[in-house]
Amino acid sequence: MTAHSLQKAPTGKDIMDAQSRIASFIHKTPVFTSKAFDAMSNKSCLLKGEHLQKTGAFKARGAMNAVLIHRDSAQVSGFITHSSGNHGAALSWAAEQIGAPAYIVMPSNAPQAKIDAVKEYGGLITFCDPTLEARELTAAELQRSTGALFIHPYDNYDVIAGQATATLELLQEHPDLEWLFIPVGGGGLLAGASLANYYFGKAKVVGCEPSNADDAYKSFISKTRVSVKTPNTIADGLRTSLGVRNFPIILDHVNDIILLSEEELENAWHICLSRTKQFIEPSAASGIAAALKHQSTGKAGIMLCGGNMNTSQFALR
Amino acid sequence: MTAHSLQKAPTGKDIMDAQSRIASFIHKTPVFTSKAFDAMSNKSCLLKGEHLQKTGAFKARGAMNAVLIHRDSAQVSGFITHSSGNHGAALSWAAEQIGAPAYIVMPSNAPQAKIDAVKEYGGLITFCDPTLEARELTAAELQRSTGALFIHPYDNYDVIAGQATATLELLQEHPDLEWLFIPVGGGGLLAGASLANYYFGKAKVVGCEPSNADDAYKSFISKTRVSVKTPNTIADGLRTSLGVRNFPIILDHVNDIILLSEEELENAWHICLSRTKQFIEPSAASGIAAALKHQSTGKAGIMLCGGNMNTSQFALR
């Protein structure tokens, strides 16, 4: 099968192809349930454990799909990104699977835990000043000198198709889901989930966003893409603003976006820890917080998008 | 099948019977693996997730087995224990499954989280002064007034047979295990594990104990049961001393007992959290700490015995 990079929003077939393409590399993640949580949320909830995915986040799916699509291209001699979050580690891991180099541009003030994660998966780090301009300039220079291909963390149809497979996997096991609660940052996961549901499900899709990073909510309401400068939320994976390619998909296929306070996110994180014993990152708590807040009943899927956070502040003694 | 309370150490058949008896009530728990942890421990490790068991601990197995064995006895009109830990919650839950009352004697200074857990499963709490004498006296009085049966948390063969099913379940999936790392407090889990391995496995069994609560180690070395007064360890589930019935089983069927410092326990807890995303109680970290410390290679089973701890000290903001 010769694969081509997608030039428009993924179709149902594109998502199925992505699933087959990445199947031997990624984990089919388990689903967690809790009677106590069902009682609290007044729903029957299925928590999709993407925090147990390779590299600790759903990002492995999109990165692997993009890398495999470009594997056979003679022009590609590696991959580049300037994400310092889960995508940087995921792209490093995905490139390593096919023996290609991954060049990760990171700000000089990136947390040690994120630097370590990229290094662990063999990513080659180039540090730059902590400004967007410096990151883009450094990535462009690297691209010229290495011939490597830039893979955007979310504003990329191949990545969106890969992220869609998390929801497809859940819908294949539970086609009767009535609600999907999906965290939204740049919109790769939410765009993918809403497309997977459009083609293979019948749920209403609810984007879950911190009130302190409410660009997707504002964009969704006004139908005009807006961004939020320096959002201040514990959900570090959701601080980014919607991508150009992600926004129209979300407008077309998402039913609602719900905003969560920092208190609601922290409460949801604790409930997840105590009730399911699953350690998730604060971004992943947004789906749980939304399911608790949303006035609805029925069978709901909640995407636990990742589990990467520093644990050093959790002292036992 | 008429069941009789066991009067001696469980045989292989007793353990198999316990497994059948409790099967429809308990979870068959998942096993977690981590390549990074395998590299750190120089072993191929299978982490048995009893923190995902009903009531959040393996204790549900032993309590359920004891309760079911006594279900049909006309003399029994409920169950009593004075454990304020996981056994109190487990016995409450097990009794609730058959519609029997569970009377739990708790010290007046018991933590709110433990009180809440017992209440959640329908346990009827009687508070007493925080001394062993008061607890035993209160339990004896309750026994007289209610006709309920006292179920010891670990010094009870029916309970030991129930706990053995956790290891049996692991051995049925992985009969080639070479090592078993099992936490030891009162010795219900370790006695059960060592018997299950004696009848159905071929592993070497290593008991895992905090240095600050080293009664099992001292007893094992001296072949004389000793106890430790007021042990000071974060592994609250392992503060108890070995039971009368547990000690000879452990002497006969356990190969070694390894001691872990508080630092080693805390480090193992963090590794489990970051590498497997599983939230366990500090007692369960002892198996992980032991696998990291023990100079051995091969295929190892590690019992994650429980996941009940207060999360309120884990602030995200």
Q: Which of A150, A169, A201 is the last residue of a domain?
A: A150
**Is residue A21 one of the residues assigned to a domain?**
yes
Whether the CB of B30 is below 8 Å from some CB of chain A: the reply is yes
Q: Taking residues A280-296, what's their average pLDDT?
A: 97
- Expressed in angstroms, the distance from the first to the final Cα of chain A is 56
Asked if the Cβ–Cβ distance from A278 to B273 is below 8 Å, we say no
Taking one residue from A and the other from B, the number of pairs with CB-CB distance under 8 angstroms is: 58
pLDDT in tens, B171-229: 999 999 999 999 999 999 999 999 999 999 999 999 999 999 999 999 999 999 999 88
Domain identity same for A186 and A88: no
**What is the distance between the alpha carbons of residues B65 and B17, in angstroms, rounded to a whole number?**
9
Extended beta strands in chain B, E state:
31-32, 44-49, 79-81, 102-107, 124-128, 149-150, 179-183, 204-210, 256-260, 299-304
Residues of A known to be catalytic: 59, 84
CATH number for the domain spanning B251: value is: 3.40.50.1100
Domain identity same for A88 and A217: no
In the prediction, which pLDDT does B315 show? 87
**Is residue A242 one of the residues assigned to a domain?**
yes
Residues of B known to be catalytic: 59, 84
Domain identity same for A281 and A165: yes
**Is residue B63 one of the residues assigned to a domain?**
no
Q: Which residues contact A275 (CB under 8 A, 6 or more apart)?
A: A34, A36, A37
In the prediction, which pLDDT does B74 show? 64
**What is the distance between the alpha carbons of residues B26 and B8, in angstroms, rounded to a whole number?**
24
Domain identity same for B76 and B169: no
Determine the distance from the C-alpha atom of residue B26 to the mean position of all C-alpha atoms in its chain, rounded to a whole number.
Answer: 15
**Is residue A317 one of the residues assigned to a domain?**
no
Q: Which of B119, B150, B181 is the last residue of a domain?
A: B150
Domain identity same for A171 and A131: no
Q: Which of B56, B266, B278 sits opposite A316 (nearest CB)?
A: B266
Q: Taking residues B241-255, what's their average pLDDT?
A: 97
Domain identity same for B238 and B285: yes
pLDDT in tens, B17-32: 999 999 999 999 999 9
In the prediction, which pLDDT does A2 show? 64
Q: Which of A56, A265, A274 sits opposite B277 (nearest CB)?
A: A56
* Chain B residues close to A266, C-beta within 8 Å: 315-317
Task: Name the residue in chain B with its Cα closest to that of A313.
Answer: B314
Position B317 pLDDT exceeds 90: no
What whole-number percentage of chain B has pLDDT above 70? 99
In the prediction, which pLDDT does A72 show? 76
Domain identity same for A26 and A80: no
Whether the CB of B312 is below 8 Å from some CB of chain A: the reply is yes
Instruction: Quote the domain boundaries for residue A90.
Output: 71-150
**What is the distance between the alpha carbons of residues B102 and A221, in angstroms, rounded to a whole number?**
54
pLDDT in tens, A216-237: 999 999 999 999 888 899 999 9
**Is residue B214 one of the residues assigned to a domain?**
yes
| A74 confidence band (pLDDT: 50, 70, 90) | low
Say how many domains are in chain A.
Answer: 2
Whether the CB of B273 is below 8 Å from some CB of chain A: the reply is yes
Asked if the Cβ–Cβ distance from B314 to A278 is below 8 Å, we say no
Q: Which residues contact B263 (CB under 8 A, 6 or more apart)?
A: none
Asked if the Cβ–Cβ distance from B234 to A316 is below 8 Å, we say yes
Domain identity same for B104 and B233: no
pTM of the full structure: 0.94
Looking at CA atoms only, how far is residue B117 from chain A in angstroms?
A: 11
Domain identity same for B179 and B285: yes
pLDDT in tens, A37-71: 999 999 999 999 999 999 999 999 999 999 999 99
**Is residue A29 one of the residues assigned to a domain?**
yes
Asked if the Cβ–Cβ distance from B278 to A274 is below 8 Å, we say no
Domain identity same for B184 and B50: yes
Whether the CB of A51 is below 8 Å from some CB of chain B: the reply is yes
Looking at CA atoms only, how far is residue A59 from chain B in angstroms?
A: 16
Domain identity same for A104 and A178: no
* Chain B residues close to A314, C-beta within 8 Å: 270, 273, 313-314
**Is residue B317 one of the residues assigned to a domain?**
no
Q: Which of A150, A183, A212 is the last residue of a domain?
A: A150
**What is the distance between the alpha carbons of residues B52 and B285, in angstroms, rounded to a whole number?**
15
**Is residue B143 one of the residues assigned to a domain?**
yes
Domain identity same for A202 and A236: yes
